[in-house]
Structure formats: structure tokens, C-alpha cells
Structure 1
């Protein structure tokens, strides 16, 4: 094989930032997409963190698989590591994904590290929307990240109820009263 695969489940789906010669709908088992990572760089700061997606344990995740040429591997991996491992909140793993064709291929995947201080765990929808509203980092507003991801999931006919609920609150733009 003269290619390697990368699995995207968040902004990589709509902004991969590296050359690929194939793109396919794919499914990763054993992990699910979750707004479970405090962003200190791309969509927030240490003082005002944003909230971004991570692959957390359990379930499955549908996303996009990109095939890149082996000749580009050094440059692609350097780019991905600079982008995804900036604070080391993710672990780079090669995991099996199932392509829409039915083939299973190994793919470079970024999974959240539960022991990292930026791991937010399970965040309820109201709190997630509040954090996202305030977040803004080097890559722009956190709100744009969430809405772009939801838009691309819809285009791919991938349902994500939790992310859709956060997006609905963001589009409503009405801060919800805090209780307790």
C-alpha cells in the first residue's frame, strides 16, 4: 500500500490542512465524539478556555477518513502533531476504522488523555454552550468550530444529538440562567 489513513471527527473533517487523495465516510468503534476537552490554544485560552471535541471511551464515532500518500507521510504527520499535540491533551494512536466500502484500515487517530488537566469529562449541554460562547483562540471563535462541525455532520448525514443540542443553544444565543 502506498498510502496511510487519518481519521477526522471534528475540525479535521472540514479543515484537514494536509494533502489527501481519497476521502471516505468511516466509523471508529470503541470511542465516541464528545465536547470533553478544554481548549487553551485553538479555541480558547488558559484564562478563558473553549471546549472542543475529543474521542472519549465507549460507543462509536462516525467521521471522515483521509488517505494520504506515503511520500507525504513525514510532512503530514509533522503538521498533525503540531496541530493536535500542541498541549498533549490527545494521544496519537493507530486504530482500525471501517470505511464506507466495508474495508477496515489502520488510521492515525487522536484520542483524549483522561489524565490531562484539559480533559473536561462529561459536560452538560447548558454548561458546554456557555463555555463555547466565551471561547476564542488562535483558530478563531469556539462558536464557529462547533457550528461548522455540526454543519458538516449534517451534510454527511451523521447524527450527534449532544452536539446538535449545543449548536441549538448557540444559535438561540440566549444565555441560560444558572441554578445553584
Structure 2
């Protein structure tokens, strides 16, 4: 069977683009602080020893805008997870009255994406950078989770951000 190409293209996104005025941050939102990020980093580092490479799985904007320093990338598949427009957004993609939807990784199916291997020398710093980009509010919309991925180079374990199904943004 020939390789499949991703169905979601820039052209399709451009066809449905609409400008949504930013209503500003939710005044009731609680942002994570440095202590929260340090605790998350400590937990993740305990789950992934320094002797094991740290991979990050990109399935959406991380693919074309990773914003982290990495030393390798591989096309990879997460089995048991799929992309889904399942996260309600009240800023940038929608309003409080009419939430928009953003793609997140949800259970079931499979998802093809890109795995980025972080360098060993500054992995905590790079991990902190991506956590602060992807996980900003309490309670979190995403759970950082280690997934097993398949790639042409073999199986690897990677950090992915999966939807928090118990969170209020879950659609």
C-alpha cells in the first residue's frame, strides 16, 4: 500500500479561516506558577531516567513550530491515540459564547506525527520550555504523558500532551 498523506492541509485550513477578536483572558483562570512547573518537571524526570533519550511527540502545531532545540526527528505513529477537535477554546479560535475547537490527542485509533529527540545537555530546560507552552492553566487541559511510538527506527517512548477528558475544555 502506498504511503498516505495527511488530509489536513494548509489549503483546507485557509478555506475555513475566520478572524475572531480576542476577548482576553478568563478573569477566573488560574495560571501555573514556577513551583507547579518544577513539580511537573520532577515527576517527568522520575518517569524518564537520564539514561533514556527524551523524545517529544508532535501531532499538531509542534510539527511545524516545535520551538525547542532538538537533535533528531522521526516520523512516528502513536497507536491507541488520534487527533480530535475535542478542546473548546474561548480565545483566538472562539468566544465564551461560541467556543471554537482545537485539535488535541484523544484515546482510540492512531496518530501519525513527528517525534523530536531533545539533547541530553539541556533537556530539563527544553522540557520546561515546552511545558510552559502547552500546559498553562489549573486545572490543565492537557496531561503530559509518555507514549510508546512506532517509527522506522524502531519503538521509542515519547512525551505527548493528551487531552484531559475530565477538564472543562473537553468537548
Q: Does the 8 A contact of 1:2 with 1:70 survive in 2?
A: no
* TM-score (norm. length: structure 1): 0.61
Q: Look up the match of 2:159.
A: 108
Point out 4+ residue stretches in structure 1 off by more than 2 angstroms: 39-50
CA distance in 2, matches of 1:119, 1:17: 25
CA distance in 2, matches of 1:70, 1:46: 42
Q: Look up the match of 2:64.
A: 14
CA distance in 2, matches of 1:92, 1:41: 22
Q: Does the 8 A contact of 1:36 with 1:54 survive in 2?
A: yes
CA distance in 2, matches of 1:80, 1:45: 25
Distance 1:32 1:42, change over 3 A: same
Distance 1:86 1:22, change over 3 A: same
* TM-score (norm. length: structure 2): 0.64
- Which secondary structure state, in structure 2, belongs to the residue aligned with residue 54 of structure 1? strand
Distance 1:48 1:65, change over 3 A: same
Gaps of 5+ in 2: 1-50
TM superposition shift of 1:42: 6.0
State how many pairs are aligned. Answer: 119
Distance 1:45 1:108, change over 3 A: farther
Q: Look up the match of 2:128.
A: 78
Q: Look up the match of 2:10.
A: none
TM superposition shift of 1:3: 3.2
Alignment of structure 1 residues 21-32 onto 2, 5 Å: 21-32=71-82
CA distance in 2, matches of 1:65, 1:10: 12
Alignment of structure 1 residues 63-102 onto 2, 5 Å: 63-87=113-137, 88-101=140-153
Q: CA RMSD in A?
A: 1.8
Q: Look up the match of 1:4.
A: 54
Q: Look up the match of 1:175.
A: none
Please say which of residues 27-36 and 72-81 is displaced more in the overlay.
Answer: 72-81
Gaps of 5+ in 1: 121-180
